[in-house]
Structure 1
Amino acid sequence: MALNRDAILKAQDIPTEPVNVPEWGGEVILRGLTGDELDDFQGSIRQFRRSLDGKGMEPVLIQQGMHAKLLVKCLVDDNGERLFTDNDAGELGAKAGVVLDRLYDVAQRLSGLTEEDEEEMEGNSDAPTDTGASTSSSPEPSDAPLPSSYDESAPVS
């Protein structure tokens, strides 16, 4: 028998996992992203730039602050409520990189994010792109990413 609307909406399907962080003196709880949070996170780390051949656009993975941007969405208290807002990513990003990297790996796994997902966002996968643009991972330094419509803090040219 197929699930109905109420059964789907009531399902507790977002995993959590406690993680010991000796550098911080205790344990934190990480949870996977909701669908909306996943879209928001991916939108915050993906921009588009003109392809090297100038005929289209290609995705660029913006890695600056990527660990903290995910972790502010995934660190929760005992009640499952977020500890941080998206605006706290800069402050959290100032913590030890080794700790953030370890927590990022858990948050990534709980959220169903894989290295293949990152490669696809960066344009390094064999998956077709919407524009059919180049998927080269070695842009020329002068090819700055264009601001995405998502990122309100991106400079507008």
Structure 2
Amino acid sequence: MALNRDAILGAVDVQTEKVPVPEWNGDVIVRGLTGDELDNFQGSIRQFRPTFDGKGMEPVLVQDGMRAKLLVKCLVDEAGERLFTDQDAPALGAKNGSVIDRLYDVAARLSGLSEEEKAEMEGNSGTLEEAVASTSSSPETSAAPSQNY
């Protein structure tokens, strides 16, 4: 049976997960982002700069505080209310790096960040263009990856 509009809009589909954080002497609840929140987060870590030849613009990833920027949107209380505001990202980012990284992994998974995009955001592979293309709903195929020398 195909879902109708009301069934889709009424579905409670944002996931949460309780994560033990022994370094903080307790657990935290991580909530995945909604589609709008994910778009907002992705937009907040992307900027455009002129290409080397000056004839166009290219996307660049701003990694400063990236993990904390995601976590302030995803850490919630028992009622599902955010624990932090976006302005709290620098303070949260000053906490233990291994804890932040561990919680970021959970938040990214619950929010539907693709492995390719997550790797690009972490600076591990590919290009930002490839990461953007990997989350596109376009039926077209991506261009072949450029060679990096």
**TM-score bracket relative to the smaller structure:** 0.7 to 0.9
Q: Where does structure 2 lack aligned partners over 5 or more consecutive residues?
A: 121-125, 135-142
Q: How big is each residue's C-alpha offset from its partner over 1:31-80, in whole Å with a ceiling of 9 and x where there is no partner?
A: 11011110110011000111122221111010001000000010011111
If the length of structure 1 is used for normalisation, what is the TM-score? 0.76
For the 8 Å contact 2:67–2:101, the answer to whether it is kept is yes
Q: 1:7 corresponds to which residue?
A: 7
Let me know the Cα RMSD of the aligned residues. Answer: 2.6
Q: Which residue of 1 aligns with 2:79?
A: 79
TM-score w.r.t. length of structure 2: 0.80
Aligned counterpart, 1:148: none
d(CA) in 2 for partners of 1:125, 1:78: 33
The number of residues matched between the two structures is: 134
What code does the residue aligned with 1:41 have? F
> Which amino acid is 1:123 matched to?
E
Q: Is the 8 A contact 2:117 2:132 kept in 1?
A: no
Partner of 2:70: 70
2:105 maps to 1:105: yes
Alignment partner, residue 89 of structure 1: 89
Counterpart-to-counterpart distance in 2, 1:135 and 1:49: 19
Corresponding position: 1:32 with 2:32: yes
Q: Residue 128 of structure 2 aligns to which amino acid in structure 1?
A: E
Moved more, 105-114 or 2-11: 2-11
Please report how far the alpha carbon of residue 106 of structure 1 lies from its aligned counterpart in structure 2 after TM superposition.
0.6
Larger relative contact order (CA 8 Å, sep ≥ 6): 1
SS in 1 for 2:94: coil
Change (3 A) 1:104 1:112: same
1:123 partner SS: helix
Q: Give the Å deviation of 1:127.
A: 4.4
Q: Hey, which of these two has a bigger chunk of helix by percent?
A: 2
SS state of the match for residue 60, structure 1? strand
Partner residue, 2:54: 54
Cα distance, 1:107 vs structure 2:
0.4
Identity, % of aligned positions: 69
CA distance in 2, matches of 1:123, 1:103: 26
Flag structure 1 segments of 5+ consecutive residues without an equivalent. Answer: 139-157
